[in-house]
Structure 1
Amino acid sequence: MEKSFNTRSMIFTLYGDYISQYGNVIWIGSLITLLKEFGHNEQSVRAAVSRMNKQGWLTSEKKGNKSYYYLTDQGKSRMKEAARRIYNTEPPSWDGKWRLLMYSIPETKRHLRDELRKELVWSGFGLLSNSCWITPNPLEKEAQSLVKKYEISEFVNFFQAKYEGFATNKELINQCWDLTEVNERYSNFIKTYSQKYIIDKNKLEKGNMTDGSCFVERTLLVHEYRKFLFVDPSLPQELLPEDWLGDSAAFLFKDYYELLKEPATRFFESTFESGGMTYNI
């Protein structure tokens, strides 16, 4: 299979969907074997793992002549938040409040400002105006965690507020997020994966799909669906457009995931090695 996915990104997917269910630790040899299914070679896997180690997502432990990699607290927190958003098919309810995060980070710390922007987008904040980010979701803990992580408390202010401006709440949403574009992405996802779901369901019913194929398809399904974490702010139902396709995509993802779950897990377990550490299922 040709390599068509970023190695580091694929490793995140494997940790989120599989390894986190098995104590968050895996032998590097097992990781290399699993990623070969997607066209990644040993060199690219080792390089990606090294980067993730330096970035604070992974840490390692030697056991004999083998290296085992497990998620740091930062990595566990990210996987937990991603799983909550990926596998939750119901939009959150809204308490009618907005959360505002504003910062004034000096130019000398520009690299922190750039990192913070990426983290805010991933968490579900939208940019209302220069250095002013908002969300209707209760992301107080996420905001506190980011401020602590980057040690920028002196440059940041955080508020809860009720909007009493001159537009509607939905119009405010449209200033911060391009939901039309997100909806188009959901439409493309549904078109592609509804067809693949039918094909794979027929294959499984006829016994024409191996455990390895199920592992590959389930991992690619999660990998593709995980991309919505970077564009969909997971808005409450009250603030979504009437033709919103996010719910339909979520149910399709859940059905397809469950279809492939058992054989895909069998394949993973046949390759997985944790170094004798206790599973966390």
Structure 2
Amino acid sequence: MTDQPTDPPTDPQPSHTPRSLIVTFYGAYGRGSADDPGGPVPIAALIRLLGAVGVDSPSVRSAVSRLKRRGLLVAGRTADGAAGYGLSDDARELLRDGDRRIYGRSPARAGEGWLLAVFSVPEEERHKRHLLRSRLARLGFGTAAPGVWIAPAHVYEETRHTLERLGLAAYVDLFKGGHLGFEPTPEAVARWWDLEALATQHRAFLDAHEPVLRRWARRRTLPPEEAYRDYLLALDSWRRLPYADPGLPASLLPDRWPGGRAARVFGALHARLRDAGGQFVAPVLA
């Protein structure tokens, strides 16, 4: 799941925009399954489902229009002839790419090494230079030196796939290796990434959603609309974080690093609320 901003967010807890919430909805509930991708989501259903998280009808329509112009949504008709919007092929691929980060990525292990990306883009194609930098940042790369980007080696396959998909592979050389000095690696890592800014984003997620998890943990029943609302808001907040956080080994992170706790909170909310929220979505889509 993606539609991330051009660069990773710097706000501790970015606001839930209509466009972001629509992308989050499609990623969670609006794309069917691998065997049955489903049809267009009726615009009336989108308005109902986004209304449950506080988005009014004009904002839904405006955001859908912008996503259509960006090539993420395509207009269509449902089986009974109602106007609706489905995901484009590119959008489906972007969401599949995002799934690996958002739902299942494990932190790097000490000793796995580092991935270096060194790139050179001709001046006449400098727009690709900005695209390349923004994509490397979204993949979790930090800056080791001008023109030299670094990430844990476990992002190699995702990096290679992303660069090939975007037609940027010809401008990049990738290297894998170890950090041999001269600065201690934890101190070097603190230069390559703004760890305090990342920690602030994790703490903001925890401040917003850990109380939600505690509240649901005390409840015996799972009212579908409430579960849907809390899950969609949590997912909309969480899905940005795995793109900003490179997933460094714990041994290289500051004491009391909040990233692991934030991941556990999201994982618990996902396990408890996603399917219950789907019970609210299904009859609206039907």
Q: Name the TM-score, length of structure 2 as normaliser.
A: 0.80
Name the residue aligned to 2:20. 9
C-alpha spacing 1:60/1:141, structure 2 compared with 1 (3 Å): farther
Contact 2:16/2:237 (CA < 8 Å) preserved in 1?
no
CA distance in 1, matches of 2:71, 2:165: 11
Q: Which runs of 5+ in 1 are unaligned?
A: 274-281
Name the residue aligned to 1:180. 196
Contact 2:198/2:245 (CA < 8 Å) preserved in 1?
yes
Q: SS in structure 1 opposite 2:196?
A: helix
* CA displacement at 1:94 relative to structure 2: 4.6
Name the residue aligned to 1:96. 112
Name the residue aligned to 2:158. 142
Aligned residues with identical type, % of pairs = 27
Match of 2:60 among 45, 50, 75: 45
* CA displacement at 1:25 relative to structure 2: 4.6
Q: CA RMSD in A?
A: 2.7
Name the residue aligned to 1:32. 47
Match of 2:185 among 156, 161, 169: 169
CA distance in 2, matches of 1:272, 1:121: 36
C-alpha spacing 1:59/1:93, structure 2 compared with 1 (3 Å): farther
* CA displacement at 1:219 relative to structure 2: 0.6
- For this pair of structures, how many residues does the alignment match? 267
Contact 1:32/1:41 (CA < 8 Å) preserved in 2?
yes
Alpha-carbon displacement from aligned partner over 1:47-85 (angstroms, at most 9, x marks no partner): 433433443434444457434433344323332333222
Aligned pairs for 1:202-281 (under 5 A) are 202=218, 204-205=219-220, 210-273=223-286
CA distance in 1, matches of 2:172, 2:111: 24
CA distance in 2, matches of 1:74, 1:145: 14
| 1:86 aligns to 2:99 (yes or no) | no
Structure 1 segments of 4+ aligned residues over 6 angstroms from their partners:
none
Q: SS in structure 2 opposite 1:244?
A: coil
C-alpha spacing 1:115/1:97, structure 2 compared with 1 (3 Å): same
Name the residue aligned to 1:71. 87
Q: SS in structure 2 opposite 1:19?
A: coil
- Quick one: which amino acid aligns to residue 246 of structure 2? P
* CA displacement at 1:163 relative to structure 2: 2.1
* CA displacement at 1:266 relative to structure 2: 0.4
Alpha-carbon displacement from aligned partner over 1:230-251 (angstroms, at most 9, x marks no partner): 4211223343333222112222
Contact 1:137/1:236 (CA < 8 Å) preserved in 2?
no
* CA displacement at 1:24 relative to structure 2: 6.1
Q: Which runs of 5+ in 2 are unaligned?
A: 1-14
C-alpha spacing 1:28/1:180, structure 2 compared with 1 (3 Å): same
Name the residue aligned to 1:108. 124
Q: SS in structure 1 opposite 2:236?
A: helix
